[in-house]
Amino acid sequence: MRHVIGMDLGTTNGALAVRSPEAADGEGRVVAIPQLTAVGTVAARPLLPSFLYLPAKGEFPPGGLALPWDGEEREAVGELARRQGVGTPTRLVASAKSWLCHAGVDRTGPLLPWQAPPDVERVSPVAASARYLRHLVSAARHGGDVGGNWDEVEVVLTVPASFDAAARELTLQAAREAGLERVTLLEEPQAALYAWLERTGDGFRKVLRPGDTVLVVDVGGGTTDFSLMAATDREGVLELTRIAVGDHILLGGDNMDLALAHEVQRGLTAAGRKLDAWQFTSLTHGAREAKERLFAEAGLDRAPIAIPGRGSALMGATVKAELTREQLERTLIEGFFPAVPVDEGPQTARRSGLTQVGLPYAQDAGITRHLASFLTRQRRALEGAADTPVRVEGRRFVHPTAVLFNGGVFRAGVLKARLLEVLNGWLEADGGAPAKELEGADLDLAVARGAAYYGWVRQGNGIRIRGGTARAYYVGVESPMPAVPGYEPPVKALCVAPFGMEEGTRADVPPQAFALVVGEPTQFRFFASSVRREDRVGDLIEDAAGDETFEELAPIETRLPAEPGREGQLVPVHLRAAVTEVGTLELECLEDGGAGRWRFELNVRLKGDA
Protein backbone atom coordinates (compact mmCIF):
# COMPACT_ATOMS: atom_id res chain seq x y z
CA MET A 1 0.00 0.00 0.00
CA ARG A 2 1.25 3.47 -0.87
CA HIS A 3 0.25 6.99 0.07
CA VAL A 4 -2.04 8.62 -2.48
CA ILE A 5 -2.37 12.34 -3.16
CA GLY A 6 -5.48 13.53 -4.98
CA MET A 7 -5.20 16.93 -6.68
CA ASP A 8 -8.09 18.93 -8.08
CA LEU A 9 -6.73 21.57 -10.44
CA GLY A 10 -9.95 23.55 -10.76
CA THR A 11 -10.70 26.55 -12.96
CA THR A 12 -11.72 28.59 -9.92
CA ASN A 13 -10.36 26.61 -6.95
CA GLY A 14 -7.88 23.82 -6.34
CA ALA A 15 -8.02 21.25 -3.56
CA LEU A 16 -5.83 18.56 -2.08
CA ALA A 17 -6.57 15.25 -0.34
CA VAL A 18 -4.35 12.43 0.90
CA ARG A 19 -5.05 8.83 1.74
CA SER A 20 -2.58 6.83 3.77
CA PRO A 21 -2.32 3.05 4.04
CA GLU A 22 -3.28 3.28 7.71
CA ALA A 23 -6.63 4.93 6.81
CA ALA A 24 -7.56 2.42 4.11
CA ASP A 25 -10.96 1.68 5.64
CA GLY A 26 -11.94 5.31 6.26
CA GLU A 27 -12.16 8.51 4.28
CA GLY A 28 -9.14 10.28 2.91
CA ARG A 29 -8.11 13.53 4.56
CA VAL A 30 -8.47 16.97 3.00
CA VAL A 31 -5.26 18.96 3.44
CA ALA A 32 -5.65 22.58 4.49
CA ILE A 33 -3.57 24.65 2.06
CA PRO A 34 -1.36 27.41 3.52
CA GLN A 35 -1.57 30.53 1.36
CA LEU A 36 -1.28 34.29 1.50
CA THR A 37 -4.56 35.83 2.65
CA ALA A 38 -3.05 39.31 2.98
CA VAL A 39 0.38 40.81 2.47
CA GLY A 40 2.67 39.13 4.99
CA THR A 41 -0.12 36.92 6.35
CA VAL A 42 -0.32 33.17 5.72
CA ALA A 43 -3.34 31.09 6.71
CA ALA A 44 -4.51 27.59 5.82
CA ARG A 45 -7.69 27.22 3.77
CA PRO A 46 -9.44 24.10 2.39
CA LEU A 47 -9.39 25.58 -1.14
CA LEU A 48 -6.67 27.32 -3.15
CA PRO A 49 -8.26 29.91 -5.45
CA SER A 50 -6.85 29.37 -8.95
CA PHE A 51 -5.61 32.92 -9.40
CA LEU A 52 -2.11 34.24 -10.01
CA TYR A 53 -1.33 37.91 -9.35
CA LEU A 54 1.69 39.44 -11.10
CA PRO A 55 2.68 42.46 -9.00
CA ALA A 56 4.41 45.57 -10.28
CA LYS A 57 7.97 46.14 -9.17
CA GLY A 58 7.96 47.37 -5.59
CA GLU A 59 4.20 46.89 -5.18
CA PHE A 60 4.69 44.73 -2.08
CA PRO A 61 7.23 45.20 0.74
CA PRO A 62 10.17 42.77 1.05
CA GLY A 63 8.99 39.52 2.58
CA GLY A 64 5.35 40.36 1.93
CA LEU A 65 4.87 37.33 -0.36
CA ALA A 66 6.89 34.83 1.70
CA LEU A 67 5.47 31.31 2.14
CA PRO A 68 6.41 28.72 4.78
CA TRP A 69 8.33 26.53 2.36
CA ASP A 70 9.89 28.85 -0.24
CA GLY A 71 10.63 32.18 1.36
CA GLU A 72 9.99 35.16 -0.89
CA GLU A 73 7.88 34.62 -4.02
CA ARG A 74 7.74 36.82 -7.13
CA GLU A 75 3.97 36.53 -7.45
CA ALA A 76 0.93 35.77 -5.34
CA VAL A 77 -1.23 32.67 -5.62
CA GLY A 78 -4.56 31.93 -3.99
CA GLU A 79 -6.68 34.14 -1.74
CA LEU A 80 -4.41 37.20 -1.83
CA ALA A 81 -4.15 36.99 -5.62
CA ARG A 82 -7.92 36.91 -5.98
CA ARG A 83 -8.37 39.92 -3.69
CA GLN A 84 -5.66 41.97 -5.39
CA GLY A 85 -7.19 41.21 -8.77
CA VAL A 86 -10.46 42.91 -7.87
CA GLY A 87 -8.63 46.24 -7.67
CA THR A 88 -6.05 45.60 -10.42
CA PRO A 89 -7.60 43.08 -12.83
CA THR A 90 -5.01 43.68 -15.56
CA ARG A 91 -2.41 41.88 -13.42
CA LEU A 92 -4.58 38.90 -12.52
CA VAL A 93 -4.27 35.54 -14.28
CA ALA A 94 -7.63 33.73 -14.18
CA SER A 95 -9.22 30.77 -15.99
CA ALA A 96 -5.85 29.29 -17.00
CA LYS A 97 -7.45 25.86 -17.11
CA SER A 98 -9.97 27.04 -19.71
CA TRP A 99 -7.11 28.30 -21.88
CA LEU A 100 -5.43 24.88 -21.70
CA CYS A 101 -8.13 23.46 -23.97
CA HIS A 102 -8.19 26.38 -26.47
CA ALA A 103 -6.65 24.94 -29.64
CA GLY A 104 -6.74 28.32 -31.39
CA VAL A 105 -3.81 29.76 -29.40
CA ASP A 106 -0.30 28.75 -28.39
CA ARG A 107 -1.02 27.45 -24.91
CA THR A 108 2.67 27.27 -24.05
CA GLY A 109 3.22 30.92 -25.01
CA PRO A 110 2.84 34.00 -22.75
CA LEU A 111 -0.87 34.87 -23.07
CA LEU A 112 -2.13 35.71 -19.60
CA PRO A 113 -3.43 38.00 -18.26
CA TRP A 114 -5.37 38.21 -21.50
CA GLN A 115 -5.22 41.72 -23.04
CA ALA A 116 -2.93 42.99 -20.28
CA PRO A 117 -1.03 46.23 -20.99
CA PRO A 118 2.56 45.99 -22.34
CA ASP A 119 4.17 46.66 -18.95
CA VAL A 120 2.73 43.44 -17.48
CA GLU A 121 4.90 40.36 -17.95
CA ARG A 122 2.57 37.59 -19.13
CA VAL A 123 2.71 33.86 -18.49
CA SER A 124 1.44 30.85 -20.43
CA PRO A 125 -1.62 28.81 -19.39
CA VAL A 126 0.74 25.87 -18.82
CA ALA A 127 3.07 27.94 -16.63
CA ALA A 128 0.15 29.29 -14.57
CA SER A 129 -1.22 25.77 -14.08
CA ALA A 130 2.25 24.58 -13.07
CA ARG A 131 2.43 27.39 -10.52
CA TYR A 132 -0.85 26.25 -8.89
CA LEU A 133 0.29 22.63 -8.89
CA ARG A 134 3.66 23.57 -7.38
CA HIS A 135 1.79 25.29 -4.56
CA LEU A 136 -0.36 22.18 -3.99
CA VAL A 137 2.74 19.96 -3.98
CA SER A 138 4.41 22.21 -1.41
CA ALA A 139 1.25 22.14 0.73
CA ALA A 140 1.20 18.34 0.55
CA ARG A 141 4.83 18.16 1.63
CA HIS A 142 4.24 20.74 4.36
CA GLY A 143 1.04 19.37 5.89
CA GLY A 144 0.13 16.17 4.10
CA ASP A 145 2.02 13.85 6.48
CA VAL A 146 3.07 11.81 3.46
CA GLY A 147 6.62 11.20 4.57
CA GLY A 148 9.01 8.73 2.98
CA ASN A 149 10.23 8.87 -0.58
CA TRP A 150 7.96 10.82 -2.93
CA ASP A 151 8.90 8.42 -5.70
CA GLU A 152 6.69 5.92 -3.88
CA VAL A 153 3.70 8.28 -3.61
CA GLU A 154 0.88 7.89 -6.11
CA VAL A 155 -0.41 11.22 -7.44
CA VAL A 156 -3.84 11.38 -9.10
CA LEU A 157 -4.60 14.63 -10.93
CA THR A 158 -8.10 15.36 -12.21
CA VAL A 159 -9.16 16.84 -15.56
CA PRO A 160 -12.56 17.52 -17.13
CA ALA A 161 -14.00 14.44 -18.83
CA SER A 162 -14.33 16.52 -21.98
CA PHE A 163 -10.61 17.45 -22.14
CA ASP A 164 -9.16 16.22 -25.42
CA ALA A 165 -5.76 14.55 -25.77
CA ALA A 166 -3.99 17.89 -26.23
CA ALA A 167 -5.40 19.45 -23.07
CA ARG A 168 -4.60 16.29 -21.10
CA GLU A 169 -1.00 16.26 -22.31
CA LEU A 170 -0.61 19.97 -21.51
CA THR A 171 -1.92 19.25 -18.01
CA LEU A 172 0.77 16.57 -17.66
CA GLN A 173 3.35 19.05 -18.94
CA ALA A 174 2.29 21.49 -16.21
CA ALA A 175 2.60 18.68 -13.66
CA ARG A 176 6.14 17.91 -14.82
CA GLU A 177 7.06 21.60 -14.55
CA ALA A 178 5.73 21.45 -10.98
CA GLY A 179 8.08 18.56 -10.20
CA LEU A 180 5.60 15.69 -10.60
CA GLU A 181 7.10 13.05 -12.86
CA ARG A 182 4.58 10.24 -12.36
CA VAL A 183 0.96 11.31 -12.47
CA THR A 184 -2.29 9.49 -13.27
CA LEU A 185 -5.12 11.49 -14.79
CA LEU A 186 -8.73 10.95 -13.70
CA GLU A 187 -11.88 12.47 -15.14
CA GLU A 188 -13.56 14.86 -12.70
CA PRO A 189 -17.09 13.36 -12.91
CA GLN A 190 -15.63 9.94 -12.10
CA ALA A 191 -13.71 11.47 -9.19
CA ALA A 192 -16.97 12.98 -7.88
CA LEU A 193 -18.66 9.57 -8.04
CA TYR A 194 -15.68 7.90 -6.35
CA ALA A 195 -16.01 10.45 -3.52
CA TRP A 196 -19.70 9.58 -3.18
CA LEU A 197 -18.86 5.86 -3.10
CA GLU A 198 -16.22 6.47 -0.43
CA ARG A 199 -18.61 8.48 1.73
CA THR A 200 -21.54 6.08 1.25
CA GLY A 201 -19.48 2.96 1.93
CA ASP A 202 -21.20 -0.40 1.56
CA GLY A 203 -24.52 1.41 1.76
CA PHE A 204 -24.22 2.36 -1.90
CA ARG A 205 -25.68 -1.05 -2.78
CA LYS A 206 -28.94 0.03 -1.17
CA VAL A 207 -29.03 3.19 -3.29
CA LEU A 208 -27.82 1.88 -6.67
CA ARG A 209 -29.04 -1.34 -8.22
CA PRO A 210 -28.37 -3.11 -11.52
CA GLY A 211 -30.17 -1.25 -14.28
CA ASP A 212 -29.68 2.19 -12.74
CA THR A 213 -28.13 4.98 -14.81
CA VAL A 214 -26.30 7.76 -12.95
CA LEU A 215 -26.06 11.18 -14.58
CA VAL A 216 -23.15 13.24 -13.23
CA VAL A 217 -23.69 16.96 -13.78
CA ASP A 218 -20.44 18.80 -13.11
CA VAL A 219 -20.61 22.58 -13.50
CA GLY A 220 -17.29 24.10 -12.53
CA GLY A 221 -15.77 27.51 -12.87
CA GLY A 222 -15.04 27.16 -16.57
CA THR A 223 -16.68 24.02 -17.95
CA THR A 224 -19.87 22.00 -17.89
CA ASP A 225 -19.36 18.23 -17.99
CA PHE A 226 -21.98 15.52 -18.39
CA SER A 227 -21.23 11.83 -17.85
CA LEU A 228 -23.41 8.73 -17.71
CA MET A 229 -22.55 5.73 -15.52
CA ALA A 230 -24.43 2.43 -15.75
CA ALA A 231 -24.86 0.03 -12.83
CA THR A 232 -24.75 -3.59 -13.98
CA ASP A 233 -24.68 -7.05 -12.44
CA ARG A 234 -21.52 -8.99 -13.25
CA GLU A 235 -21.63 -12.48 -11.78
CA GLY A 236 -23.54 -11.24 -8.77
CA VAL A 237 -21.31 -8.19 -8.20
CA LEU A 238 -22.54 -4.63 -8.79
CA GLU A 239 -20.33 -2.93 -11.34
CA LEU A 240 -20.23 0.69 -12.54
CA THR A 241 -19.29 1.54 -16.11
CA ARG A 242 -18.87 5.00 -17.63
CA ILE A 243 -20.88 4.76 -20.86
CA ALA A 244 -20.93 8.33 -22.17
CA VAL A 245 -19.16 11.67 -21.85
CA GLY A 246 -20.41 14.97 -23.23
CA ASP A 247 -18.59 17.37 -25.50
CA HIS A 248 -16.32 20.07 -24.13
CA ILE A 249 -18.62 22.95 -23.13
CA LEU A 250 -16.86 26.13 -22.05
CA LEU A 251 -19.68 27.22 -19.79
CA GLY A 252 -19.64 27.57 -16.02
CA GLY A 253 -19.06 29.90 -13.12
CA ASP A 254 -17.03 32.35 -15.24
CA ASN A 255 -20.04 32.87 -17.50
CA MET A 256 -22.29 33.32 -14.49
CA ASP A 257 -19.96 35.96 -13.04
CA LEU A 258 -20.13 37.88 -16.32
CA ALA A 259 -23.92 37.64 -16.39
CA LEU A 260 -24.15 38.94 -12.82
CA ALA A 261 -21.73 41.76 -13.64
CA HIS A 262 -23.94 42.85 -16.54
CA GLU A 263 -26.99 42.70 -14.25
CA VAL A 264 -25.30 44.98 -11.70
CA GLN A 265 -23.98 47.26 -14.45
CA ARG A 266 -27.51 47.86 -15.71
CA GLY A 267 -28.45 49.28 -12.32
CA LEU A 268 -25.37 51.51 -12.28
CA THR A 269 -26.08 52.77 -15.80
CA ALA A 270 -29.67 53.58 -14.85
CA ALA A 271 -28.28 55.62 -11.93
CA GLY A 272 -25.97 57.55 -14.27
CA ARG A 273 -22.77 55.64 -13.49
CA LYS A 274 -20.76 54.48 -16.49
CA LEU A 275 -17.93 51.98 -16.21
CA ASP A 276 -14.98 51.61 -18.56
CA ALA A 277 -13.60 48.22 -19.63
CA TRP A 278 -11.06 48.15 -16.77
CA GLN A 279 -13.77 48.84 -14.18
CA PHE A 280 -16.10 46.25 -15.69
CA THR A 281 -13.38 43.62 -15.31
CA SER A 282 -13.07 44.63 -11.68
CA LEU A 283 -16.87 44.48 -11.34
CA THR A 284 -16.82 40.92 -12.71
CA HIS A 285 -14.35 39.80 -10.03
CA GLY A 286 -16.43 41.63 -7.42
CA ALA A 287 -19.60 39.92 -8.64
CA ARG A 288 -17.88 36.55 -8.24
CA GLU A 289 -16.99 37.33 -4.63
CA ALA A 290 -20.53 38.57 -3.93
CA LYS A 291 -22.00 35.42 -5.51
CA GLU A 292 -19.81 33.15 -3.40
CA ARG A 293 -20.72 35.07 -0.25
CA LEU A 294 -24.44 34.79 -0.96
CA PHE A 295 -24.05 31.07 -1.65
CA ALA A 296 -22.15 30.59 1.63
CA GLU A 297 -24.47 32.67 3.86
CA ALA A 298 -28.07 31.53 3.38
CA GLY A 299 -29.50 34.33 5.52
CA LEU A 300 -27.82 37.13 3.56
CA ASP A 301 -30.09 39.12 1.22
CA ARG A 302 -27.47 41.26 -0.52
CA ALA A 303 -23.70 41.54 -0.83
CA PRO A 304 -21.76 44.78 -1.47
CA ILE A 305 -19.40 45.29 -4.40
CA ALA A 306 -16.69 47.96 -4.48
CA ILE A 307 -15.32 49.08 -7.87
CA PRO A 308 -12.15 51.23 -7.94
CA GLY A 309 -12.65 54.71 -9.38
CA ARG A 310 -11.02 55.87 -12.62
CA GLY A 311 -10.15 59.25 -14.12
CA SER A 312 -9.28 62.56 -12.50
CA ALA A 313 -12.84 63.25 -11.34
CA LEU A 314 -12.99 59.92 -9.56
CA MET A 315 -9.37 59.64 -8.46
CA GLY A 316 -9.34 57.86 -5.14
CA ALA A 317 -13.10 57.34 -5.19
CA THR A 318 -14.89 54.01 -5.23
CA VAL A 319 -18.04 53.10 -7.12
CA LYS A 320 -20.34 51.21 -4.77
CA ALA A 321 -22.81 48.59 -5.94
CA GLU A 322 -24.49 45.48 -4.61
CA LEU A 323 -25.76 42.11 -5.73
CA THR A 324 -29.07 40.98 -4.25
CA ARG A 325 -30.15 37.40 -3.75
CA GLU A 326 -33.14 38.03 -6.01
CA GLN A 327 -30.81 39.18 -8.82
CA LEU A 328 -28.53 36.20 -8.22
CA GLU A 329 -31.23 33.56 -8.38
CA ARG A 330 -33.21 35.14 -11.22
CA THR A 331 -30.15 35.66 -13.42
CA LEU A 332 -28.76 32.18 -12.88
CA ILE A 333 -32.04 30.22 -12.97
CA GLU A 334 -33.59 31.85 -16.02
CA GLY A 335 -30.35 32.47 -17.87
CA PHE A 336 -28.53 29.18 -17.25
CA PHE A 337 -31.24 26.67 -16.28
CA PRO A 338 -34.26 27.57 -18.44
CA ALA A 339 -37.29 25.26 -18.45
CA VAL A 340 -37.19 23.89 -22.01
CA PRO A 341 -38.52 20.74 -23.74
CA VAL A 342 -36.07 17.89 -24.24
CA ASP A 343 -36.00 18.40 -28.00
CA GLU A 344 -34.77 21.99 -27.65
CA GLY A 345 -31.03 21.88 -28.09
CA PRO A 346 -28.45 24.67 -27.80
CA GLN A 347 -29.10 27.68 -29.96
CA THR A 348 -26.40 28.98 -32.30
CA ALA A 349 -26.26 32.72 -32.70
CA ARG A 350 -25.19 34.38 -35.93
CA ARG A 351 -21.62 35.46 -35.38
CA SER A 352 -19.90 38.60 -36.58
CA GLY A 353 -17.45 38.18 -39.43
CA LEU A 354 -14.75 39.81 -37.31
CA THR A 355 -14.28 38.97 -33.65
CA GLN A 356 -11.60 39.36 -30.99
CA VAL A 357 -9.54 36.32 -30.12
CA GLY A 358 -10.50 34.95 -26.73
CA LEU A 359 -11.85 31.88 -25.01
CA PRO A 360 -14.34 29.99 -27.25
CA TYR A 361 -17.25 30.15 -24.81
CA ALA A 362 -20.42 28.24 -25.57
CA GLN A 363 -22.79 30.43 -27.57
CA ASP A 364 -25.83 29.24 -25.63
CA ALA A 365 -25.72 29.70 -21.85
CA GLY A 366 -28.64 27.33 -21.26
CA ILE A 367 -27.12 24.37 -19.39
CA THR A 368 -30.45 22.53 -19.56
CA ARG A 369 -30.39 22.84 -23.37
CA HIS A 370 -26.91 21.32 -23.49
CA LEU A 371 -28.11 18.53 -21.19
CA ALA A 372 -31.10 17.83 -23.45
CA SER A 373 -28.78 17.60 -26.45
CA PHE A 374 -26.42 15.25 -24.59
CA LEU A 375 -29.15 12.83 -23.47
CA THR A 376 -30.87 12.69 -26.87
CA ARG A 377 -27.59 12.30 -28.78
CA GLN A 378 -26.43 9.50 -26.49
CA ARG A 379 -29.77 7.73 -26.93
CA ARG A 380 -29.09 7.55 -30.67
CA ALA A 381 -25.53 6.34 -30.04
CA LEU A 382 -26.55 3.62 -27.58
CA GLU A 383 -29.45 2.47 -29.75
CA GLY A 384 -27.08 0.89 -32.25
CA ALA A 385 -24.50 -0.36 -29.76
CA ALA A 386 -24.17 -4.04 -28.93
CA ASP A 387 -24.73 -5.21 -25.36
CA THR A 388 -25.70 -1.76 -24.12
CA PRO A 389 -26.45 -1.79 -20.37
CA VAL A 390 -29.02 0.98 -20.75
CA ARG A 391 -32.52 0.60 -22.15
CA VAL A 392 -33.15 3.15 -24.92
CA GLU A 393 -35.74 1.50 -27.18
CA GLY A 394 -38.93 3.51 -27.43
CA ARG A 395 -37.43 6.46 -25.56
CA ARG A 396 -36.63 9.93 -26.83
CA PHE A 397 -33.52 10.24 -24.65
CA VAL A 398 -31.46 8.29 -22.13
CA HIS A 399 -33.40 8.11 -18.86
CA PRO A 400 -31.18 8.75 -15.81
CA THR A 401 -32.44 7.14 -12.61
CA ALA A 402 -30.11 9.13 -10.34
CA VAL A 403 -28.25 12.44 -10.51
CA LEU A 404 -24.98 13.34 -8.81
CA PHE A 405 -24.19 17.05 -8.70
CA ASN A 406 -20.67 18.39 -8.54
CA GLY A 407 -19.15 21.86 -8.60
CA GLY A 408 -19.44 24.90 -6.36
CA VAL A 409 -22.21 26.32 -8.55
CA PHE A 410 -24.60 23.82 -6.99
CA ARG A 411 -24.06 25.19 -3.49
CA ALA A 412 -27.11 27.20 -4.52
CA GLY A 413 -29.83 24.66 -3.75
CA VAL A 414 -32.26 26.47 -6.05
CA LEU A 415 -30.07 25.56 -9.05
CA LYS A 416 -30.03 21.86 -8.16
CA ALA A 417 -33.78 21.96 -7.62
CA ARG A 418 -34.34 23.67 -10.97
CA LEU A 419 -32.26 21.18 -12.94
CA LEU A 420 -34.01 18.23 -11.28
CA GLU A 421 -37.37 19.86 -11.98
CA VAL A 422 -36.57 20.23 -15.69
CA LEU A 423 -35.09 16.72 -15.99
CA ASN A 424 -38.01 15.07 -14.20
CA GLY A 425 -40.41 16.98 -16.43
CA TRP A 426 -38.72 15.39 -19.45
CA LEU A 427 -38.88 11.96 -17.82
CA GLU A 428 -42.57 12.28 -16.97
CA ALA A 429 -43.42 13.38 -20.51
CA ASP A 430 -41.49 10.36 -21.89
CA GLY A 431 -43.13 7.83 -19.58
CA GLY A 432 -40.19 7.48 -17.19
CA ALA A 433 -39.85 7.52 -13.41
CA PRO A 434 -38.39 10.61 -11.71
CA ALA A 435 -34.64 10.68 -11.08
CA LYS A 436 -33.37 10.89 -7.50
CA GLU A 437 -30.46 12.94 -6.25
CA LEU A 438 -27.47 11.06 -4.85
CA GLU A 439 -27.14 13.01 -1.63
CA GLY A 440 -24.12 13.63 0.52
CA ALA A 441 -21.78 14.99 -2.16
CA ASP A 442 -19.14 17.51 -1.07
CA LEU A 443 -19.45 20.01 -3.89
CA ASP A 444 -16.13 21.79 -3.30
CA LEU A 445 -13.89 18.93 -2.18
CA ALA A 446 -15.41 15.84 -3.79
CA VAL A 447 -13.04 15.79 -6.76
CA ALA A 448 -9.89 15.86 -4.62
CA ARG A 449 -11.34 13.28 -2.22
CA GLY A 450 -12.40 11.05 -5.11
CA ALA A 451 -8.98 11.29 -6.73
CA ALA A 452 -7.30 10.08 -3.53
CA TYR A 453 -9.88 7.30 -3.20
CA TYR A 454 -9.30 6.26 -6.82
CA GLY A 455 -5.59 5.83 -6.11
CA TRP A 456 -6.54 3.52 -3.25
CA VAL A 457 -8.88 1.61 -5.59
CA ARG A 458 -6.02 1.22 -8.09
CA GLN A 459 -4.13 -0.63 -5.37
CA GLY A 460 -6.79 -3.35 -5.36
CA ASN A 461 -9.45 -1.98 -2.99
CA GLY A 462 -13.06 -0.83 -3.28
CA ILE A 463 -15.15 -0.66 -6.44
CA ARG A 464 -13.65 0.59 -9.69
CA ILE A 465 -15.57 2.46 -12.36
CA ARG A 466 -14.87 0.91 -15.73
CA GLY A 467 -14.77 3.05 -18.81
CA GLY A 468 -11.57 3.47 -20.82
CA THR A 469 -11.40 6.23 -23.43
CA ALA A 470 -14.43 8.52 -23.55
CA ARG A 471 -14.19 8.82 -27.34
CA ALA A 472 -13.11 6.80 -30.34
CA TYR A 473 -10.00 8.22 -32.06
CA TYR A 474 -9.08 8.20 -35.74
CA VAL A 475 -6.22 9.31 -37.96
CA GLY A 476 -6.97 10.83 -41.34
CA VAL A 477 -5.86 8.89 -44.42
CA GLU A 478 -5.82 10.64 -47.78
CA SER A 479 -7.37 8.72 -50.66
CA PRO A 480 -5.11 8.16 -53.70
CA MET A 481 -6.60 9.79 -56.79
CA PRO A 482 -5.50 11.86 -59.83
CA ALA A 483 -5.27 15.62 -59.36
CA VAL A 484 -8.53 17.41 -60.18
CA PRO A 485 -8.61 21.25 -60.28
CA GLY A 486 -10.55 22.70 -57.34
CA TYR A 487 -11.20 19.32 -55.73
CA GLU A 488 -9.41 17.96 -52.68
CA PRO A 489 -9.06 14.19 -52.27
CA PRO A 490 -11.51 12.84 -49.66
CA VAL A 491 -10.07 11.96 -46.28
CA LYS A 492 -10.91 8.64 -44.70
CA ALA A 493 -10.85 8.07 -40.93
CA LEU A 494 -8.85 5.08 -39.71
CA CYS A 495 -9.92 3.95 -36.23
CA VAL A 496 -6.84 3.56 -34.03
CA ALA A 497 -8.52 3.56 -30.59
CA PRO A 498 -12.15 2.46 -30.20
CA PHE A 499 -14.57 3.87 -27.64
CA GLY A 500 -13.81 2.44 -24.19
CA MET A 501 -10.23 1.31 -24.89
CA GLU A 502 -8.77 0.69 -21.45
CA GLU A 503 -5.74 2.49 -20.02
CA GLY A 504 -2.50 0.53 -20.27
CA THR A 505 -3.54 -1.41 -23.40
CA ARG A 506 -2.15 -1.53 -26.94
CA ALA A 507 -3.73 -2.37 -30.26
CA ASP A 508 -2.07 -3.20 -33.58
CA VAL A 509 -3.95 -1.89 -36.60
CA PRO A 510 -4.58 -4.83 -38.99
CA PRO A 511 -2.16 -4.75 -41.95
CA GLN A 512 -3.20 -2.28 -44.64
CA ALA A 513 -1.29 -0.41 -47.34
CA PHE A 514 -0.18 2.80 -45.59
CA ALA A 515 2.76 5.03 -46.39
CA LEU A 516 4.34 7.84 -44.41
CA VAL A 517 5.90 10.95 -45.96
CA VAL A 518 9.29 11.66 -44.34
CA GLY A 519 11.86 14.42 -44.59
CA GLU A 520 9.55 17.24 -45.71
CA PRO A 521 6.79 19.40 -44.14
CA THR A 522 3.52 17.53 -43.82
CA GLN A 523 0.27 17.58 -41.88
CA PHE A 524 -1.51 14.86 -39.94
CA ARG A 525 -5.24 15.09 -39.36
CA PHE A 526 -7.01 13.48 -36.43
CA PHE A 527 -10.67 12.91 -35.61
CA ALA A 528 -12.66 11.87 -32.55
CA SER A 529 -16.21 10.74 -31.94
CA SER A 530 -18.24 10.43 -28.75
CA VAL A 531 -21.12 8.60 -30.47
CA ARG A 532 -19.48 5.98 -32.75
CA ARG A 533 -19.32 2.93 -30.47
CA GLU A 534 -19.21 0.07 -32.98
CA ASP A 535 -16.01 1.03 -34.81
CA ARG A 536 -13.04 -1.25 -34.16
CA VAL A 537 -9.30 -0.82 -34.61
CA GLY A 538 -8.53 -0.84 -38.35
CA ASP A 539 -12.01 0.21 -39.53
CA LEU A 540 -11.76 2.76 -42.34
CA ILE A 541 -14.67 5.20 -42.66
CA GLU A 542 -15.21 7.12 -45.90
CA ASP A 543 -15.23 10.95 -46.07
CA ALA A 544 -14.73 11.70 -42.38
CA ALA A 545 -14.54 15.45 -42.96
CA GLY A 546 -18.15 15.51 -44.14
CA ASP A 547 -19.55 13.21 -41.43
CA GLU A 548 -21.21 15.00 -38.50
CA THR A 549 -20.48 12.08 -36.16
CA PHE A 550 -16.79 13.08 -36.27
CA GLU A 551 -15.09 16.02 -34.57
CA GLU A 552 -11.86 17.06 -36.27
CA LEU A 553 -9.06 17.77 -33.82
CA ALA A 554 -6.25 20.24 -34.30
CA PRO A 555 -3.76 18.80 -36.83
CA ILE A 556 -0.08 18.11 -36.26
CA GLU A 557 2.12 20.02 -38.71
CA THR A 558 5.67 18.73 -38.65
CA ARG A 559 8.66 17.40 -40.57
CA LEU A 560 9.30 13.73 -39.82
CA PRO A 561 13.00 12.91 -39.41
CA ALA A 562 14.52 10.93 -42.28
CA GLU A 563 17.86 9.35 -43.07
CA PRO A 564 20.00 11.18 -45.66
CA GLY A 565 18.75 10.46 -49.16
CA ARG A 566 15.24 9.45 -48.04
CA GLU A 567 13.78 12.97 -47.86
CA GLY A 568 10.39 13.15 -49.53
CA GLN A 569 10.03 9.39 -49.83
CA LEU A 570 6.91 7.40 -48.97
CA VAL A 571 7.84 4.84 -46.33
CA PRO A 572 5.54 1.79 -45.99
CA VAL A 573 4.40 1.52 -42.38
CA HIS A 574 2.01 -0.28 -40.09
CA LEU A 575 0.37 1.34 -37.09
CA ARG A 576 0.10 0.62 -33.39
CA ALA A 577 -1.96 2.57 -30.85
CA ALA A 578 -1.76 2.63 -27.07
CA VAL A 579 -3.70 4.28 -24.29
CA THR A 580 -1.16 4.98 -21.57
CA GLU A 581 -1.71 4.49 -17.85
CA VAL A 582 -2.15 8.26 -17.48
CA GLY A 583 -4.87 8.32 -20.11
CA THR A 584 -3.12 9.83 -23.15
CA LEU A 585 -3.21 8.28 -26.62
CA GLU A 586 0.00 7.32 -28.42
CA LEU A 587 0.21 6.36 -32.08
CA GLU A 588 3.29 4.61 -33.46
CA CYS A 589 4.19 4.29 -37.15
CA LEU A 590 6.56 1.33 -37.65
CA GLU A 591 8.42 0.91 -40.93
CA ASP A 592 7.63 -2.36 -42.70
CA GLY A 593 10.86 -4.35 -42.85
CA GLY A 594 12.96 -1.44 -41.59
CA ALA A 595 14.12 0.37 -38.47
CA GLY A 596 12.08 3.56 -38.90
CA ARG A 597 9.84 4.34 -35.95
CA TRP A 598 7.79 7.47 -35.35
CA ARG A 599 5.63 8.11 -32.30
CA PHE A 600 2.84 10.63 -31.88
CA GLU A 601 1.22 11.75 -28.64
CA LEU A 602 -2.07 12.56 -30.21
CA ASN A 603 -2.68 16.17 -31.14
CA VAL A 604 0.22 17.54 -29.12
CA ARG A 605 3.71 16.75 -30.24
CA LEU A 606 5.82 14.34 -32.25
CA LYS A 607 8.75 12.21 -31.14
CA GLY A 608 10.60 10.33 -33.85
CA ASP A 609 13.72 8.40 -34.67
CA ALA A 610 14.58 7.00 -38.07
Q: Which of 155-164, 312-321, 391-400, 487-496 has the lowest mean pLDDT?
A: 312-321
Is the model's pLDDT at 476 over the cut of 80? yes
> pLDDT digits over 338-357, tens only?
999 999 989 876 544 443 44
pLDDT of residue 357: 47
Q: Let me know how long the chain is.
A: 610
Could you tell me which residue, 435 or 604, shows the higher pLDDT? Answer: 435
In the predicted model, what is the mean pLDDT of residues 63-85? 88
Q: Tell me the C-alpha distance between 223 and 227, whole Å.
A: 13
pLDDT of residue 608: 37
Contacts of 264 (CB under 8 A, 6+ apart): 283, 287, 305, 321, 322, 323, 327
In this prediction, residue 480 has a pLDDT band, given cuts at 50, 70 and 90, of low
Is the model's pLDDT at 465 over the cut of 70? yes
pLDDT of residue 303: 94
pLDDT of residue 352: 44
Cα 574–576–582 angle (5° rounding)?
160
Mean pLDDT value across the chain: 84
Is the model's pLDDT at 401 over the cut of 80? yes
Chain-centre distance of CA 99, in angstroms? 10
DSSP 394: T
In this prediction, residue 15 has a pLDDT band, given cuts at 50, 70 and 90, of very high
Q: Which of 194-198, 201-205, 336-340, 403-407 has the lowest mean pLDDT?
A: 201-205
In the predicted model, what is the mean pLDDT of residues 304-309? 88
In this prediction, residue 248 has a pLDDT band, given cuts at 50, 70 and 90, of confident
Q: Which of 82-96, 245-259, 513-527 has the lowest mean pLDDT?
A: 513-527
In this prediction, residue 602 has a pLDDT band, given cuts at 50, 70 and 90, of low
- pLDDT > 70: what percent of the chain? 89
In the predicted model, what is the mean pLDDT of residues 360-388? 86
> pLDDT digits over 527-572, tens only?
888 788 888 888 988 877 778 888 887 777 777 777 777 777 778 8
- The burial of 195, by beta-carbon neighbours within 10 Å (0-12 exposed, 13-18 middle, 19 or more buried), is given as buried
